[in-house]
Amino acid sequence: MKASVSVIKVCSAGLKMIVWGKKEPSRLFSSVAVGALDSSPLFLDEQGDFISVNSHQQDNFPSLGGISADYTGVHHEPLHAFGKKDNIFEAVDYDEILRYTFYQQTDYNELKRIKFILKSRGWNIDSRNNSSNMIVLDECNIMRILNDLFEESRDAALALYFYRWSERCKGSEHTVRSICTMIHILVAGNMNHRAMDLIIYLVRKNDGEDWWCNLLLKVLYDTNSERRVLGIAYSMLVDCYTKENMTNVALKLTCQMNHLSIFPSMGVCNSLIRALLDSEQVELAWDLLEEMQSQGLALNASIISLFIHNYCSKGDLGSGWKLLMEMKTYGIKPDIVAYTILIDSLSKMSLLREATSILFKLNQMGMSLDSVSVTSVIDGFCKAGHCVKAIAVLNIFGLSPNIYIYNSFISKLCTDGNMDKASSVFHEMSYLGLLPDCFCYTTIIGGYCKSRNMNVALNFFGKMFKRGIMPSVATYTALVDGYCRHEDLEMAEHAFQSMILAGLVPDSIAYNTLIDGYGKKGYLHKAFGLLGTMKSAGIRPDVVTYNCVIHSLILRGYVSEAKGILDELIRRGFSPDAVTFTTLLSGYSKKGNFEEAFLVWFYMSEHHMQPDVVTCSALLNGYCKARCMKEAGALFRQMLDIGLVPDLMLYNTLIHGFCCVGNTGDACHLVNMMVEHGISPNNATHRALVLGHEKECIQNPVETAVSRVQKILLKHGISIDVDQYRTSVQEPGR
């Protein structure tokens, strides 16, 4: 009895598919619930086209686009994804007749090759008149055909062609066993990149559950035909789990492989160790390193450098150096990369003498220094303000200046506010043929923005576009910051919107900059509005964000509201920093609410947060303004006891406080203390002492202040020009 007729034609890149048949339920070929439609009988007609037949009638069906023989993706959507929303196979049998006609010459030639190989391997492929010779496209036959094609041709690309073609024939995904078979063939045929695609596809089908990982391990083992290929496939599986941030799964698979006397390759172990170190699983990383040695893998400097970098990134330079020296015990000669990691860390921690000495030692050892190691030291000297020493290092080691070195000097000059010199160095770099990149432009633009010279900043911004260099988020953020400093919030908003229109996504720093600008200007409604926009955009507010909001509230006198926000953040598990507490403490101190200020102080202690000089200064400033000098003196002594070193501003705050109440004795004691610690009195110090002597009703307060300061300085071997000093005290503007 003939079934009702339906036809599907697919013409895309030469592919034409015609379907006849009736509707029957589908079945699953995969034991792991990978969905598949019923297999289709396959043979050749008189023209040499592959056919799957169990009916003889045909109709036309609307053409479905999007299927190409050159399709290289891993995950193939079911055929209904290319047509109507409903599954187009619901109207036909799942074992209905499939006919494939390929119009492209390449497709035709590939199918001819497949036909020839299959016939030579004993497959009974005959004309459609002999239905007894049909090939059913089930899991078993697909795996056999794939293996036959590769064994006969040694062409993995041909097997991959049939793999994709047969998947489209079935209209469903291949089973796990079929995929694993294809993986082995691709590895054996040196198409590892395609094998990785398939393995990643399998890994992503499940979120690292044990049963799925065990299944992949077992099926890969069951479908392998060569141990070398199996080892590579297993290594790829571990590597894929590592790249998908499932480090523990990757480590577990490594242990299971070990039971099969198979171990991942050196490169995969390297990636896994890096992932373990990044996830703070240092002990497991060392265990894996020892296992690598026991497996006979020869360790190299690259893999030991991962551990050195881990130590140095945590500030443990001692352990990093010790490991560097112990590399010889592993039979490894340290390379320049290992030394550079340590040199860079020393430079970033301002331990420049040690970093430079290592450079000289390497030079004496005859090791070829690269630009990275020398540049790290130069950048360290520049950041520390020792540009002359940086130039000396550059000349000693004969390193040709590069963009990074120039940017180190430009960055330092911008930090110092020496924009004329920074601009000169910038143009010198261009003159020498070194083309400034986005980072260089952002540095110089940021420098001019901080010096509030927006016209020149915009001039450099325009030059970026003229030279085809697209500004980054950091570049736009520098402009936003510049306009906020200039109190031009309208232009700051314009720069922020321009960033978005340029297709860039503002980061937390960009949002924080504009929120802070709004807050300092008193636009609290705009600050909170932008905070809401930030959250809606999926950018998580950080501690700096909330510090800006709290500071904005305190500036407007809303100290209680700021404290309420802090309490709510802590309740939600947010961790404030010292700046948060200092801002709040300063707000209470300025209002004279020392009870609440001390509650904040003790709250810091409860959170194991040590007050710094800035925190103490905020509270001392409040005490001095309230003329509570007894409490100020007690806090100052407590500050010294915990090892904090006062700066000039803090000394002047206290000296001015004591002088305001006419206590020049304690004020002069503080002057003596600051000189002992190498801090010279400035004009503010002198004028505070004059004020103090005026409060004590001294007839000639200026001369008395001059005399007392001169005695203190002479006591420490410091002489001053008395006339110049007297003039500076008498002229407040100086």
29-78, pLDDT tens digit by residue?
233 333 333 444 444 444 444 444 333 333 332 222 222 223 233 333 33
Cβ neighbors of 644 (< 8 A, separation 6 or more) are 611, 612, 613, 616
Using CA atoms, how far apart are residues 128 and 147, in angstroms rounded to an integer? 25
Cβ atoms 58, 20 nearer than 8 A: yes
Q: Which pLDDT score is estimated for 680?
A: 87
Q: Rounded to two decimals, what is the model's pTM?
A: 0.60
Using CA atoms, how far apart are residues 585 and 611, in angstroms rounded to an integer? 11
Cβ neighbors of 100 (< 8 A, separation 6 or more) are 15, 16, 17, 49, 50, 51, 165, 169
Contacts 24+ apart (CB under 8 A), 109-114: 110/69, 110/158, 110/161, 111/48, 111/49, 111/50, 112/48, 113/153, 113/158, 114/149, 114/158, 114/161, 114/162
Cβ neighbors of 96 (< 8 A, separation 6 or more) are 3, 6, 19, 20, 21, 22, 40, 54, 55
CB neighbours of residue 617 within 10 Å: 22
Using CA atoms, how far apart are residues 354 and 324, in angstroms rounded to an integer? 15
Angle made by CA atoms 283, 288, 292, in degrees to the nearest 5: 150
Task: State residue 547 phi and psi, 5-degree precision.
Answer: -65, -40
Q: Is 291 exposed, middle or buried (0-12, 13-18, 19+ CB in 10 A)?
A: middle
Q: Which pLDDT score is estimated for 84?
A: 32
Cβ atoms 30, 12 nearer than 8 A: no
Nearest to 304 by CA among 285, 291, 317: 285
How many angstroms separate the first and last alpha carbons of the chain?
111
Amino acid identity at 147: N
Q: Which pLDDT score is estimated for 112?
A: 81
Task: State residue 618 phi and psi, 5-degree precision.
Answer: -60, -45
Task: State residue 4 phi and psi, 5-degree precision.
Answer: -65, 155
Which DSSP symbol is given to 82?
G
Q: Which pLDDT score is estimated for 725?
A: 63
Q: Which pLDDT score is estimated for 341?
A: 93
Measured CA distances, 428 to 385, 433, 436 (Å): 20, 9, 11
Q: Which pLDDT score is estimated for 724?
A: 63
Amino acid identity at 322: K
Q: Which pLDDT score is estimated for 53?
A: 39
Cβ atoms 232, 268 nearer than 8 A: no
Q: Is 548 exposed, middle or buried (0-12, 13-18, 19+ CB in 10 A)?
A: buried
Q: What share of the chain is helix, strand, coil (3-state, %, to 5)?
A: 65, 5, 30
Question: 357: part of which helix (H) or strand (E)?
Answer: helix 352-364
Radius of gyration of the chain (CA): 38
Question: 97: part of which helix (H) or strand (E)?
Answer: strand 97-102
Using CA atoms, how far apart are residues 112 and 107, in angstroms rounded to an integer? 9
Low-confidence ranges of the chain (pLDDT < 50): 1-106, 733-734
